[in-house]
């Protein structure tokens, strides 16, 4: 191999490494809380968020829940995905909507300290029928709804809106393999 060929090969390898490094998802510090009170109790001098951030994040999680939570045509189908007692009617879950459409109940919230000065991001969390937790996008499930971890910023991307869409039936929920059953599984440390 000539000197020129080696230089070109090194340049290609270096460019490929740089490109692959650029493909890694941005990681953010995240915390999960079962409710706003536990979030506010965790605020301290080394916290990445304030008590007001907790309140704002919980309101954001509730709004996202109303807009993006999976909707089902029966309580039975919803509880097959989320477990007995973890679902309610759309009217109960959103203070409006239909009494004949069912949604998972919020079982916590996920907060992330977004990089680049974008503030705190939030997502509602739901308990699955297997006892794990997931967000509306359902791509990743978490071992619990308390603790902290570094997770991909994509976990805070808004899931598609489900308002006004036909609710899932047993057949469509089965075809999808159950909400949140795909993707990675993570745990939160304390």
CA distance 125 to 12: 44
Is 11 a domain residue?
A: no
Confidence of residue 3 (pLDDT cuts 50, 70, 90): low
**Which residues constitute the domain of residue 107?**
25-175
End-to-end Cα distance, the chain:
54
> Cα(5)–Cα(33) distance, rounded to whole angstroms?
56
What pTM value is reported for the model?
0.77
Assess if residue 70 is contained within a domain.
yes
The pLDDT tens digits for 23-77 are 666 888 899 999 999 999 999 988 888 999 999 999 999 999 999 999 999 999 9
Is residue 183 situated within a structural domain? no
- Is 134 within 8 Å of 140 (Cβ atoms)? yes
Into how many domains does the chain fold?
1
List CB contacts of 122: < 8 A, sequence separation 6 or more.
56, 57, 58, 60, 61, 64, 109, 110, 111, 112, 156
């Amino acid at each position: 191999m000539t000197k020129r060929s080696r230089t070109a090969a090194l340049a290609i390898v270096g460019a490929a490494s740089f490109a692959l490094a650029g493909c890694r998802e941005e990681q953010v510090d995240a915390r999960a809380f079962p409710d706003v009170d536990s979030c506010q109790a965790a605020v301290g001098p080394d916290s990445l968020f304030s008590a007001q951030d907790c309140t704002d994040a919980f309101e954001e999680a509730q709004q996202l829940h109303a807009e993006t939570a999976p909707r089902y045509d029966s309580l039975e189908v919803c509880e097959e995905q989320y477990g007995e007692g973890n679902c309610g009617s759309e009217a109960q879950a959103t203070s409006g909507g239909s009494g004949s459409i069912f949604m998972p109940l919020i079982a916590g919230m996920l907060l992330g300290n977004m990089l680049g000065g974008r503030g705190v991001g939030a997502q509602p969390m739901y308990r699955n029928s297997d006892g794990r937790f997931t967000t509306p996008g359902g791509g990743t499930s978490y071992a619990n709804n308390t603790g902290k971890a570094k997770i991909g910023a994509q976990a805070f991307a808004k899931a598609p809106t489900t308002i006004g869409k036909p609710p899932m039936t047993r057949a469509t929920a089965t075809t999808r393999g159950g909400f949140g059953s795909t993707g990675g599984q993570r745990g939160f440390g304390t």
